[in-house]
Structure 1
Amino acid sequence: MPKRISVRGAIISNDVAWIYELFDIEHTSPQMVMEQIEDANGDDLEVIINSGGGEVYAASEIYTELKSYTGTVETRVVGLAASAASVIAMAGDKVLIAPTAEIMIHNSSMGYHGDHRDMNKASEMLQNTDKTIANAYRLKSGMDEKELLDLMGKETWLTPQDALEKGLVDEIMFENEIKLTASASVSNLIP
C-alpha cells in the first residue's frame, strides 16, 4: 500500500510555515513533504494535490525531492494543481487527474521595487524562472519549450482531457471503469 502525501493549500517556504500553523491555515512546505518522504522508507508514494500554488522555489524543492525518491511516485490532481502546484504534479512517475479537476500553468510573478535597472534585472529573472518552470512540463510531456512558454504566457487552464492530450498527465481517473447496469423488468410481454 503506498504512503499518502497531501499537497494542499498554499505552497510556502519552510521559514514562514510557522505563521500558517499559528493560524491553522492549510499549507504545504518542503520540510513537511520531506518528513513524509523519509517516513515512507522507500515505499511507493501517492501524492494527492489540491492547491492553487504558491512559491515557485518551494515547489521546485518539493518537485526535486519527489523526482529523486527511490520508490514509485504517483501524483493525483484531485481538485486543482495551479501555478507552483502544477510543477509538483509533474514529479510523478505516473500523473493522474480527476475528471473534475484542472491544471493551470502561467508565468511566474513577483512584487518588486527599484529603479529601471532593477526592473530590467527582475524581468530577466522572471523570464529565466519561466524557463525553469517549463522544464518540469517539458520533461513530463515532451512538448517543446516555446509551446510551453506560449501556454504559460496565456495563463492556460487545462481540463483533464486537455492535460492528457498535451502529455501532462498519464490518465484521467475513473475513466477506465466500466459501469455495469442491471435492469429488472416485470412485464406481461412475451419476447
Structure 2
Amino acid sequence: MKRTWELKQAATPDTLEMYIYGDVKSDYFDWWTWDMVESETSANHFRNELAKYPDVKEIKIFINSYGGSVFEGTAIYSQLRRHPAQKTVYIDGFACSVASVIAMAGDRVIMPKNTMMMIHNAWNIVAGNATQLRKAADDLDTIMAGNRQSYLQKSNGKITEEKLIELLDAETWLTAEQCIEYGFADELLEKDADLTEAKQLLQKMNKTLEQQLSYNRAIAVQFRELAKEPIQKTPPSEPPPEPPKENKTIKFMAALFR
C-alpha cells in the first residue's frame, strides 16, 4: 500500500523509491505539545531521509499531488537536482503546482496518457500597509523568476519563457501529450494510469473550495442583512430623527463577499 509520503529502499540495494502522494507541507509548531513537528513532506524531512542512503545510484519518484508550499517544494527540487543519482519521475495521476516543479528534477519524466500537470504562478496571503503589500507582490515576482527556471531547464529549449509565462498566468492544465511537447516530460506511456487516488485528491481539493465558498456566501448574507439596518434607533418620545446615515463599512463588506 503506497503511503502519502515515503522514501524507501527498493528491491535493488542501490535504488530508492520516493512517493509524493499528498500535500507538500513545511514543518510546524504544535501549540498543544509545545514542540516543533517535522512534516513528512517537508524539505527538512526529505534531506534527513535521503542522508540515510549515501551510496544510492537511482531514485524513482512517484507523484500524485496537487502541490503545497512553494518553499518546501522548491527546496526538494534543488536537493534532487544536486543529487548525483539517476532520477526517474513517474506521474501517477496529477502533478499540480509545486509538485510539477519537483517533477522537473527528473532526468526522465514518464507520464501515462491519462495523467496531467497543472502549472500556475505562486500566490500568498498577506496583510499590511500599502508599502508591505507592494513588496509582497514584488517578492512573488522574484520567486516566480526563479521558479520558471526549473521548467525552462527541463524543457531544454522546447518552450520559450514568454510562452511559459503565458501558461503560468492562465493557471494551465497540461495533458501528457502537451508535457511532451513543451519538454516537461520525456516518455509517454500508452497504458492508462489508475487514477483512483488522483480523483480522491481532486475531490478533497474541490470540497475545500466548496467549503470556503459556502462560508463566504454565509458571511455575505449576514453583511447584506446588517447593511439594511439603520445605525441608530431613536426612542419614540424624541422628535423624528434625520434619515439614518449610510453604513459604508458594512455595505463595503457586503459587496466584497457578494
- TM interval, short-chain normalised: 0.7 to 0.9
How far did 1:46 drift? Answer: 0.1
| In structure 1, C-alpha distance between the alignment counterparts of 2:97 and 2:29, rounded to whole Å | 19
CA 1:174–1:64: 2 relative to 1, 3 Å: same
With 30-39 and 151-160 compared, the bigger mean Cα shift is at: 30-39
2:81 maps to 67
2:16 maps to 3
Task: Output the amino acid matched with 2:82.
Answer: S
Q: What SS does structure 1 have at the residue aligned with 2:184?
A: coil
1:39 maps to 52
CA 1:173–1:34: 2 relative to 1, 3 Å: farther
| In structure 1, C-alpha distance between the alignment counterparts of 2:166 and 2:185, rounded to whole Å | 19
Match of 2:127 among 103, 110, 113: 113
Q: Does 1:145 align with 2:161?
A: yes
Task: Output the amino acid matched with 2:185.
Answer: V
CA root-mean-square deviation: 2.1
Partners of 2:16 and 2:56 within 8 A in 1:
no
Q: Does 1:49 align with 2:49?
A: no
Partners of 1:78 and 1:100 within 8 A in 2:
no
| In structure 2, C-alpha distance between the alignment counterparts of 1:60 and 1:98, rounded to whole Å | 24
Q: Deviations over 1:91-132 (max 9, x none)?
A: 001111122211000011000011111111111111111111
Structure with larger Rg = 2
With 78-87 and 92-101 compared, the bigger mean Cα shift is at: 92-101
| In structure 2, C-alpha distance between the alignment counterparts of 1:104 and 1:27, rounded to whole Å | 23
Q: What SS does structure 1 have at the residue aligned with 2:22?
A: strand
Partners of 1:82 and 1:105 within 8 A in 2:
yes
TM-score scaled to structure 1, two decimals? 0.81
1:90 maps to 104
Q: Deviations over 1:8-61 (max 9, x none)?
A: 2111113369x9xxxxxx962213322342233222000001110011010111
What is the aligned residue count?
169
| In structure 1, C-alpha distance between the alignment counterparts of 2:119 and 2:56, rounded to whole Å | 30
Task: Output the amino acid matched with 1:106.
Answer: H
Structure 2, unaligned runs of 5 or more: 1-11, 33-38, 192-258
Q: What SS does structure 2 have at the residue aligned with 1:88?
A: helix
Q: Does 1:28 align with 2:20?
A: no
Q: What SS does structure 2 have at the residue aligned with 1:45?
A: strand
1:173 maps to 189
Identity of aligned residues (%): 30
